[in-house]
Amino acid sequence: MSKTLFERIIDREIEADIVWENERIIAFNDISPQAPTHILIVPKKVISSLNELEEEDRDLIGEMFIVAKNIAEEKGISENGYRTIFNTNDYGGQTVYHLHLHLIGGRKMTWPPG
């Protein structure tokens, strides 16, 4: 099976601006940032979307949010606030089918989203 785009980033086949990494998770700047801070937090385990999440992924998802919180602190956006988003499938606006959490901040967001 061919690799996902984000697996190719994990394997250093495609360049990315990596901001944090451990054995389970990688975080890098989005190539098309929608705000001054726009970071993707990606599990190294390939999970296509939130729809494919399994019970055994409980800790992994929790860790992704801890990573988001820590990076938000490091980037100085915690106090003003930020968004964490999973886009799922077509109606959710998902374009890359390798689970990722968007961490978006550094400007005031509007609601509802488009």
* Per-residue interface string for the shown chain with ligand 5GP, residues 7-46, x marking contact by CB under 6 A: -------x-x-----------xxxxx-------x------
Q: Closest distance between ligand 5GP and the C-beta of residue 87, in Å?
A: 3
Q: Is residue 57 at the binding interface for ligand 5GP, with CB under 6 A as the rule? A: no
Pick the closest to residue 103 from 9, 5, 73, 13 (CA basis): 73
Residue among 54, 95, 110, 112 that touches ligand 5GP (CB under 6 A): 95
Query: Residue 40 in contact with residue 101, Cβ under 8 Å?
Result: yes
Catalytic residues: 100
